[in-house]
Amino acid sequence: MKNKIVDSHCHLDFDDYSNDLDTVIRNAKLNDVEYLLSISVNLEKFKTIHNITKKYKNIWCTTGIHPNNVQKNISDDQFESIIKQLKENINKPKVIGLGETGLDYFRESNNKINQIKLFEGHLEISSLTNKPVIVHTRNAESDTISILNNFTKKKNVRGLIHCFTSTKEMAEAALNVGFYISLSGVITFKNAKDLVDIVKYIPTDKLLVETDSPYLSPVPNRGKRNEPSNTKFTLEKLAEIKSTSVENMAKITTDNFFSLFKEI
Ligand SMILES: [Zn+2]
């Protein structure tokens, strides 16, 4: 295949790859997955991720705090210091986005107030720097929609909903505020019929593909450790859903990625 594929969301700093990261990255290339965006989930490991981007030309990263890593209690001083660190990180070379941030009431809802506060903090920095925000949302659709709607009424912000497995209302709301929608291996799962129906409705010029590796390995590798090379299976399924060739879908999703992450 001549068209290159982007894995727009992977976690290369996770311990799952501590023994064979070189091989994993080589394997991605061998499968035409040429560009990787490694996503931060906390501030503690930002340096590790950033070092990976320094070592490999084809890898970029983000800075952010996953909603499940948000503390229940954050003082005003701590909040200020988090925002300051995010602002410092985002200005470093090869750091092209904010996140992942957002809301997750599935695993944790007793830190709701701070999840919301930090989500808005990421949106604010994203808007200030014009770097896209990567949004995670799980069991929190209505709050996610109202925060995005309210924020975009006041300010410009660009971004995407990552690992989309949500409702049609969530997809519509994201598209209405100009966001992209990134699909993971979940679309290849047998029980993904409702999701596939929603994907049919999403315009192709708003779609990206990702692995969210090491999680969510697509069919036929379901259950095994996921890695960026598996983006091709998600892309194949997406091409099938959209009744086009894999080549064409690779070109479209890669072009979409570069339109969103303009600075690369
Ligand atoms: Zn993730």
- Ligand 1 centroid to Cα of residue 32, in Å, is 21
Read off the pLDDT of each residue in 229-252 and give the average, rounded to a whole number. Answer: 97
- Ligand 1 centroid to Cα of residue 162, in Å, is 8
User: Residue 155 pLDDT more than 70?
Assistant: yes
Residue pair 109/138 in contact by the 8 Å Cβ criterion: no
3-class secondary-structure state, position 155: coil
- Ligand 1 centroid to Cα of residue 42, in Å, is 11
- Ligand 1 centroid to Cα of residue 9, in Å, is 6
What sign does the CA torsion over 28, 29, 31, 37 have? Answer: positive
Provide the domain count of the chain: 1
Amino acid at 199: V
pTM to 2 decimal places: 0.96
Q: How far is CA 59 from CA 52, 129, 191, in A?
A: 8, 20, 32
Residue pair 257/208 in contact by the 8 Å Cβ criterion: yes
Residue 56: CATH number of its domain: 3.20.20.140
Q: In angstroms, how far is CA 57 from the centroid of its own chain?
A: 20
Read off the pLDDT of each residue in 165-193 and give the average, rounded to a whole number. Answer: 97
Question: Which of 107, 138, 137 has the alpha carbon at shortest distance from 122?
Answer: 137
pLDDT at 208 (0 to 100): 98
- Ligand 1 centroid to Cα of residue 147, in Å, is 20
- Ligand 1 centroid to Cα of residue 186, in Å, is 13
pLDDT at 97 (0 to 100): 98
Place of tokens 């959209």: 242
User: Residue 138 pLDDT more than 80?
Assistant: yes
| Band (2; pLDDT cuts 50, 70, 90) | low
- Ligand 1 centroid to Cα of residue 252, in Å, is 22
Give residue-wise pLDDT tens across range 90-134.
999 999 999 999 999 998 778 999 999 999 999 999 999 999 999
Q: How far is CA 28 from CA 22, 33, 222, in A?
A: 10, 5, 17
pLDDT at 263 (0 to 100): 73
Segments forming the whole domain that contains residue 229: 5-260
User: Residue 244 pLDDT more than 90?
Assistant: yes
User: Residue 264 pLDDT more than 80?
Assistant: no
- Ligand 1 centroid to Cα of residue 163, in Å, is 8
Read off the pLDDT of each residue in 208-236 and give the average, rounded to a whole number. Answer: 96
pLDDT at 119 (0 to 100): 98
Mean pLDDT of the chain: 96
pLDDT at 41 (0 to 100): 98
| Band (177; pLDDT cuts 50, 70, 90) | very high
- Ligand 1 centroid to Cα of residue 100, in Å, is 7
